[in-house]
Structure 1
Amino acid sequence: MKTPTRNRDATRLKLINAVGQVLAEKGFTHLGVNAVARQAGVDKVLIYRYFGGMPGLIKAFGQEGDFWPSMEELAGGDIDAYRVLPLEEKLKIMGRNYLEGIRKRPLTQEIMAWEMVERNNLTEELEIIRETRMLRFADLFLQVGGEAVDVMAVVGLMGAGLSYLICRSRRIRWYNGIDLENEEGWKRLENGIDLVVEGVAGLMQARD
């Protein structure tokens, strides 16, 4: 027999997963208390009981769901090994894993594309979560002290560029002659990450 705590945890998980399912199947305009409760197969009262309402449920979806690449994912799976790498290698690995991580999350792509045209509770909450996670990752692994180059500006430009190209690839095939529907095109972009990082590393060495 399930305990009340286990029942509560199972229902919370159902509701969190239901948010992603509604978004994936019906889009943002259909995301609401009734739709999520119906998808989860539970009474909508439980959304208020467990999360305090839709804003709380959306926050839980961002924090507990597989919305954004984890630190382990960005680091390539081995945090301890990643921690001791040179900054140049850290940036290459993070860039490649970010590209792969967002590409395999179509729902995240949908949210990223949506937040460019409409601000709502979901996009604002997930923006906070994304920014918090990335800044924490940078604080833990990318701060080496005394950098002659603004590393976070470089990371920001790479992340923004990759995010744009991933979202663009959902509707448009080509960008600057790069085929976004072909793995060879994405391989070119991975190599581009390495070139950018190597250029920045060379500049840092020249300024030391």
Structure 2
Amino acid sequence: MKTNDLLADRVSTTLDAELVRLVGQLCFVKGGDPAAISAVVLGALSFLTIQAQHDRSMLGIDLRSEAGWGRIEAAVKLIYKGLAKSALTSSTIQVVIKPQPTAGGVW
């Protein structure tokens, strides 16, 4: 994240392309912005991971402990459950059923 060299750029580009592919496979919401939502959640989790590596807490949550990360996991689940509920009750956002991937498309 701090370096601006060719290898870091290639890794970042490759990671971004893979995340776009995965979000596209897992998204069951039509009319929302799952890429932006995923970017916010993944960005936050990346930041929390960096904070943990520097032995820092976030809002009093110990990011070096299983209990702290358990709280983070529960919060992420709550966010996605709220989004799912919103999609089910919205007139502009719809839940869609995606076809099952073929054996070659399974990651």
TM-score class, shorter: 0.7 to 0.9
How far 1:124 moved relative to its partner? Answer: 0.2
Provide the residue aligned with 1:175 in structure 2: 58
Provide the residue aligned with 2:11 in structure 1: 126
Structure with greater proportional helix content: 1
Two-structure CA RMSD over aligned residues (Å): 1.4
SS of the counterpart of 1:193? Answer: helix
Identical counterparts, % of pairs = 22
How far 1:172 moved relative to its partner? Answer: 2.9
* d(CA) in 2 for partners of 1:139, 1:191: 24
TM norm structure 2: 0.77
* d(CA) in 1 for partners of 2:63, 2:26: 30
Provide the residue aligned with 1:158 in structure 2: 41
Provide the residue aligned with 1:149 in structure 2: 32
**AA of the residue aligned to 2:74:** N
Ranges in structure 2 where 5+ consecutive residues have no aligned partner:
92-107
Specify which structure has the bigger relative contact order, considering alpha-carbon pairs within 8 angstroms and separated by 6 or more residues.
2
Instruction: Give the paired residue count.
Output: 91
Assess if the C-alpha contact under 8 Å between 2:61 and 2:68 holds in 1: yes
Ranges in structure 1 where 5+ consecutive residues have no aligned partner:
1-114
Assess if the C-alpha contact under 8 Å between 1:149 and 1:200 holds in 2: no
Equivalence map 1:183-198=2 (5 Å): 183-198=66-81
SS of the counterpart of 2:53? Answer: coil
